[in-house]
């Protein structure tokens, strides 16, 4: 939560938020965070409930008086127009996206549709919406992948690093970022772009590296590490991402961009070994022990970015944000969450998921 005694607020509560993609991984962590810290704010979630969206992620919020869930597509202009007007929205926090790189390689179409066309529809709707509240804002939640790939000794990505996306996913996010920027420059739609590094934590869909490894260890299945396992990602606990967005929403002027990162660069193979150690310690009766015996190097992801690293000094200096959860603590909590919430992830591994898994891994 933003410390009101030390920071300059541009936007104060109560606010009226439309959160797109709020039933996904980061979106649901954000909605829970927001309802807890700002209970007087209206929080309307619009989510299409694709394979990655899960109503269960928000089930504990149904009794919250200011929370509303709407199942719908961000590409549906009339739905969005109606929601903005009926709910007098002054703040859009835009998470909705197709988010998985491997799926974008198999089938890019949905990525162009949701990430580019969907963002365009939201921008158009917000451009024609005139909230009565002061300081409306559209926060576009984007990714560090738009900057492309670093080699070992390159400096970390900063806000002025040129875009060089390498996957259909990152290209579609880059396209959406350009639209968001253009709507500020051309129409003065009050937008802010955030580019964040890899998130981890509770409610992350099983296809992503950390949940996939945790679940496969529990099931005694092989742990597929792409290529030589030396690719590096900069990991951030999802709640710290939400805290950063809190600072952006309350404190940032429109037209800004912020890089958000955990300052936690870890090689994939080292991360998988840490997860194995944690599972060996915390999980009773693992089918294969020690679980690192399950590690298998598999064919590399096409266009696989070698290294991401974020220079987060702008948000640290201007908004006073820094990560609060260490990677050791965050990974331990995440492993414990997947251990304690088998009833959440088991139903997600049905035939649709198995078909996807076979396509990528066999
Ligand atoms: P996710 O895949 O877990 O969730 C995406 C959500 O968007 C789902 O609930 C899905 O149902 C919804 N959605 C998809 N298409 C939609 C549509 N057309 N209309 C309405 N809803 C739709 O994604 P995530 O990992 O939580 O990522 C959220 C956002 O943060 C994305 O924009 C992503 O690019 C960005 N991001 C993610 C990470 C990360 O590490 N996961 C890091 C940086 C930025
Ligand atoms: O950097 C931010 C991005 O992080 C977000 O924009 C994306 O939405 C999010 O999915 C994530 O992208 P990555 O491609 O980095 O995440 P993923 O979990 O898919 O993979 C992390 C690393 O692990 C990557 O180098 C690929 C590797 N990997 C992944 C899987 C699923 C494996 O080695 N084996 C696997 O089975």
pLDDT reported for residue 222: 98
124 tagged catalytic: no
The pLDDT of residue 130 is: 85
pLDDT for 262: 95
**What are the residues facing 225 on neighbouring strands?**
297
Ligand 1 pocket check for 48: Cβ under 6 Å: yes
Set 33, 38, 147, 169: catalytic member: 169
Residue pLDDT, tens place only, 31-85: 999 999 999 999 999 999 999 999 999 999 999 999 999 999 999 999 999 999 9
CA Rg value for the chain = 20
Averaged pLDDT, 88-106 = 98
Residue 186: strand pairing partners = none
259-275: average pLDDT: 98
pLDDT value at residue 200: 98
Cβ partners under 8 Å of residue 68, min gap 6? 42, 43, 44, 45, 87
Split at pLDDT 50, 70, 90, the class of 197 is: very high
Percent of the chain with pLDDT over 90: 95
Task: Express each pLDDT in 332-354 by its tens digit.
Answer: 999 999 999 999 999 999 999 99
Helix pair 77-86, 119-127: axis angle to 10 deg? 40
Residue closest by Cα to atom 17 of ligand 1: 73
Question: Token pair 């015996």 is at which residue?
Answer: 293
Q: What is the pLDDT of residues 18-38, one digit of tens each?
A: 999 999 999 999 999 999 999
pLDDT the model gives residue 3: 64
pLDDT of 318 higher than 70: yes
Mean pLDDT of 13-18: 93
Answer whether 172 contacts ligand 2 (Cβ < 6 A): no
Ligand 1 pocket check: which of 22, 23, 26 to mutate, most ligand atoms within 8 Å of Cβ?
26
Q: Is the pLDDT of residue 313 over 80?
A: yes
Residue 356 has pLDDT above 90, yes or no: yes
**Nearest ligand by distance to the CA of 52:** 1
Report the pLDDT averaged over residues 161-167.
98
Q: Among 147, 175, 226, which residue has the most ligand 2 atoms within 8 Å of its CB, making it the best to mutate?
A: 226
Q: What is the pLDDT of residues 292-301, one digit of tens each?
A: 999 999 999 9
- Computed over every residue of the chain, the mean pLDDT equals 97
Protein residue closest via CA to atom 42 of ligand 1: 198
Q: Which of 72, 29, 52 is nearest to 345 (CA)?
A: 52
Per-residue pLDDT at 10? 86
Q: How far apart are CA 239 and CA 258, in angstroms?
A: 17
When pLDDT is cut at 50, 70 and 90, the band that residue 9 belongs to is confident
Q: Rounded to 5 degrees, what are φ and ψ at 149?
A: -120, 140
Do residues 54 and 348 make contact, with C-beta atoms less than 8 angstroms apart?
Answer: yes
| Domain architecture of the chain: domains with CATH | 16-204+238-261+307-324 (3.40.50.720)
145 lines ligand 2 (CB under 6 A): yes
Pocket flag, ligand 2, residue 249 (CB < 6 Å): no
């Amino acid at each position: 939560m933003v410390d009101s005694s030390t920071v300059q607020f541009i936007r104060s509560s109560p606010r009226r938020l439309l959160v797109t993609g709020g039933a996904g991984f980061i979106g649901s962590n954000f909605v829970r965070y927001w309802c807890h810290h700002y209970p007087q704010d209206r929080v309307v979630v619009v989510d299409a409930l694709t394979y990655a969206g899960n109503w269960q992620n928000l089930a504990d919020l149904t009794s919250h008086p200011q929370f509303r869930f709407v199942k719908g597509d961000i590409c549906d202009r009339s739905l969005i127009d109606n929601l903005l007007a009926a709910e007098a929205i002054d703040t859009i926090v835009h998470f909705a996206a197709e988010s998985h790189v491997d799926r974008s390689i198999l089938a890019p179409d949905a990525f162009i549709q949701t990430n580019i066309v969907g963002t365009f529809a939201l921008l158009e709707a917000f451009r024609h919406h005139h909230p009565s509240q002061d300081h409306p804002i559209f926060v576009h939640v984007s990714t560090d992948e738009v900057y492309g790939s670093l080699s070992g000794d390159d400096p970390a990505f900063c806000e002025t690093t040129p875009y060089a996306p390498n996957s259909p996913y990152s290209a579609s996010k880059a396209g959406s970022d350009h639209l968001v920027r253009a709507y500020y420059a051309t129409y003065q739609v009050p937008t802010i772009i955030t580019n964040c590094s890899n998130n981890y934590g509770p409610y992350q869909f099983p296809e992503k590296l950390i949940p996939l490894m945790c679940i496969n260890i529990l099931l005694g299945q092989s742990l597929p590490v792409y290529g030589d396992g030396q690719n590096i990602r900069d990991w951030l606990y999802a709640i710290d991402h939400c805290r950063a967005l809190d600072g952006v929403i309350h404190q940032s002027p429109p037209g800004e961009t912020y890089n958000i990162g955990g300052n936690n660069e870890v090689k994939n193979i080292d991360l998988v070994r840490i997860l194995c150690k944690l599972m060996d310690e915390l999980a009773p009766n693992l089918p294969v022990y020690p679980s690192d015996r399950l590690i298998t190097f598999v064919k590399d992801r096409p266009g696989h970015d070698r290294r991401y690293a974020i220079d987060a000094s702008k948000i640290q200096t201007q908004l006073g944000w820094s990560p609060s959860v260490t990677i050791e603590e965050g990974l331990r909590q995440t492993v414990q969450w997947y251990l304690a919430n088998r009833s959440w992830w088991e139903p997600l591994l049905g035939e649709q998921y198995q078909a996807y898994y076979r396509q990528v891994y066999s």
